[in-house]
């Protein structure tokens, strides 16, 4: 045991205690990434995920620059989105059945070839139908976020607190990548050449996926009987969660279009990206804080409160636009509204993980992403129609209504479960 030492200060004898003080316990994120292999697969995961926010914007900028047609660019982008919604669950099912490395690498290479084919078709002046075909091939891109969440579930086992932190981190990573991806894409396409965003996205996607799948020690084992497991869509409690994902997609898609229309109506169209970035930033920060918080009780008990908070906060952009007409007030409202989306997504995906049958986790996570993508596409169309035929301010009524639908579905599920229990 260390003994105090004595030193003199003037005419006084002072005791100096060298007893070591207890070190501060590591935070939840430090403990999370201290697990063997966690940091390594996360680096690859983030590299491969960043292009998910780049490809859509890059394709639009590239096609408009070459063909001078927003209609063609939008149609090609919508085709890729629809193809992804159809192909992604099938790809995820193969990942569950044969393993991440065996399926994700060839699927990623096929998607990369589709993106490069799109570049060649645009550059060479190929017929318009080739653009649709090439971009549809990118639908084989694996759901990297779902595979990362599956690794965390395998790595953390029954540690609910650590899994909560991991899911919160993954949601924050989603927000960060979809916030930085479009900015990076536009920067590359305008500063270098129109195809630079797509080419850089392909390089990041392939490199990140190879790094991610190379970490075999953290890869979930393949279930021996995945084909016999119940399909996620038929699992009890899963369909309502997917409906909420669809409604949240409508929130995201309509909010983006309404914000762009409002900024344009205020005479500041270039500010729309910054304003939307604040929404994503609010969600990212809230996701990290939510992950550091130690929740009490099961996720099913927290979920209705999360959806209710999101529904309440989604009225703020509508109120800010209608009552003030100020873009600055709208930016503040979107920052606050964004803080409710990450906790809702984290808790919902935690519930989905709990209720997805064993051996079908990647498929279950991908169905959630498919619901989000479908909602984003529908929300963009509905929000755009409302902004054009009513007003830009009225467009903010669409995300508020979609959030209310999500709340009604959630409360209906809670009431049904209470009656059957």
Residues in the chain: 421
- Give the Cα separation of 320 and 317 in Å (integer): 5
Across 124-144, b (16+ Cβ under 10 Å) vs e yields eeeeeeebbbbbbbbbbbbbb
If we measure between CA atoms, which residue out of 12, 28, 203 comes closest to residue 116? 203
- Give the Cα separation of 379 and 384 in Å (integer): 8
Residue 12 pairs in a beta bridge with: 9
The pLDDT score that the predictor gives to residue 120 is 92
Alpha-carbon distance values, 394 to 271, 312, 322 (Å): 19, 17, 8
Structure-token pair, residue 48: 């491969």
The pLDDT score that the predictor gives to residue 217 is 81
- Give the Cα separation of 176 and 88 in Å (integer): 22
The pLDDT score that the predictor gives to residue 404 is 93
- Residue identified by tokens 């569950």 is 96
Burial zone of 408 (CB within 10 Å; 0-12 exposed, 13-18 middle, 19+ buried): middle
Structure-token pair, residue 318: 């509508």
pLDDT digits (tens, 9 = 90+) for 83-100: 887 888 888 888 878 888
Helix, strand, coil tally for the chain in percent (to 5): 80, 0, 20
Across 166-202, b (16+ Cβ under 10 Å) vs e yields bbbbbbbbbbbbbbbbbebbbebbeeeebbbbbbbbb
pLDDT digits (tens, 9 = 90+) for 274-328: 777 777 778 778 777 777 777 666 777 888 888 999 999 999 999 998 898 888 8
CA angle 166-172-178, nearest 5°?
A: 135
Whole-prediction pTM? 0.73
SS3 label, residue 243: helix
Alpha-carbon distance values, 36 to 33, 112, 172, 190, 328 (Å): 8, 30, 22, 41, 45
> What is the set of domains in the chain, with CATH numbers?
38-222 (1.20.1250.20), 226-421 (1.20.1250.20)
Question: Which residues of the chain, if any, have pLDDT below 50?
Answer: 226
- Give the Cα separation of 103 and 387 in Å (integer): 42
SS3 label, residue 144: helix
Structure-token pair, residue 284: 């990212």
SS3 label, residue 388: helix
């Amino acid at each position: 045991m260390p003994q105090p030492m004595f030193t003199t200060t003037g005419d006084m004898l002072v005791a100096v205690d060298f007893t070591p003080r207890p070190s501060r316990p590591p935070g939840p994120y430090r403990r999370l990434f201290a697990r063997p292999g966690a940091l390594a697969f996360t680096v690859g995961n983030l590299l491969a995920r960043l292009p998910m926010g780049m490809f859509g914007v890059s394709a639009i900028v590239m096609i408009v620059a070459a063909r001078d047609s927003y209609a063609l660019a939008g149609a090609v982008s919508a085709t890729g989105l629809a193809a992804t919604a159809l192909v992604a669950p099938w790809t995820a099912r193969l990942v569950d059945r044969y393993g991440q490395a065996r399926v994700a690498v060839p699927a990623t290479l096929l998607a990369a070839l589709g993106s490069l084919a799109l570049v060649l078709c645009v550059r060479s002046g190929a017929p318009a139908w080739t653009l649709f075909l090439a971009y549809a091939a990118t639908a084989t891109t694996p759901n990297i976020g779902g595979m990362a969440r599956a690794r965390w579930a395998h790595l953390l086992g029954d540690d609910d607190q650590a899994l909560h932190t991991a899911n919160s981190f993954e949601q924050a990573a989603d927000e960060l990548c979809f916030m930085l991806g479009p900015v990076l894409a536009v920067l590359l396409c305008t500063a270098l050449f129109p195809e630079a965003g797509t080419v850089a996205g392909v390089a990041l996607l392939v490199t990140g996926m190879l790094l991610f799948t190379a970490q075999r020690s953290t890869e979930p084992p393949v279930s021996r009987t995945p084909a016999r497991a119940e399909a996620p869509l038929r699992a009890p409690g899963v369909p309502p969660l997917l409906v909420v994902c669809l409604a949240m997609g409508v929130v995201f898609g309509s909010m983006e279009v309404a914000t762009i229309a409002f900024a344009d109506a205020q005479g500041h169209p270039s500010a729309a990206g910054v304003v939307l970035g604040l929404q994503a930033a609010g969600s990212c920060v809230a996701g990290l804080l939510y992950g550091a918080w130690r929740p009490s009780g099961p996720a099913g008990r927290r979920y209705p409160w999360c959806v209710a908070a999101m529904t309440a906060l989604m009225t703020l952009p509508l109120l800010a636009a209608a009552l003030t007409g100020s873009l600055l007030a709208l930016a503040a409202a979107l920052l606050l509204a964004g803080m409710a989306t990450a906790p809702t997504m984290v808790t919902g995906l935690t519930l989905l993980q709990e209720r997805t049958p064993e051996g079908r986790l990647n498929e279950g996570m991908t169905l959630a992403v498919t619901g989000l993508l479908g909602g984003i596409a529908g929300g963009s169309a509905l929000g755009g129609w409302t902004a054009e035929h009513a007003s830009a301010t009225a467009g903010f009524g669409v995300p508020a209504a979609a959030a209310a639908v999500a709340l009604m579905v959630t409360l209906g599920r809670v009431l049904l479960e209470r009656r059957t229990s």
